[in-house]
Amino acid sequence: VNEQVLLKCSFKSSSPITESLMVDWTYQPLTGGQMEKIFHYQSVPYPTTVGKFKDRISWAGDVAKGDASIAIESPVLSDNGTFICSVKNPPDV
C-alpha cells in the first residue's frame, strides 16, 4: 500500500517486433463485475484517462526485450483484483 507496484508481463514472439505490436492490460475487481481496460501500448503508452487507475499507471516495459510490464502508483487494498496482460504482434497472435 502507498508504494509503487510493478506488474510484470513477459512475452515471446516468432515474428519481428514492429510498430504493429499492441499491449492491452485489463482489470477486474476481486468482487467481480465488468472487465476494465486500464492500459494500451502501441509504439507509445496510452494509460487510462478514466476510472480508479487514472493518472496512476505508467509503462515499465521494453518490447524489444519481450517486456510488457506496467507500474501502478500508490496502490490501495481496493485495487486488489485480476490483472490480465495481452500482447499481439501481427502476424503472431
Task: Look up residue 76 and give its amino acid.
Answer: V
Distance CA 64, CA 21 (A): 10
Is-contact 9 77, C-beta < 8 A? Answer: no
CATH architecture of 4-88: Sandwich (2.60)
Q: pLDDT per residue over 23-33, tens digit each?
A: 999 999 998 88
Q: pLDDT per residue over 46-89, tens digit each?
A: 999 999 999 999 999 999 999 999 999 999 999 999 999 999 99
Predicted local distance difference test score (pLDDT) of residue 15: 93
Is-contact 76 87, C-beta < 8 A? Answer: no
- Domain extents in the chain: 4-88
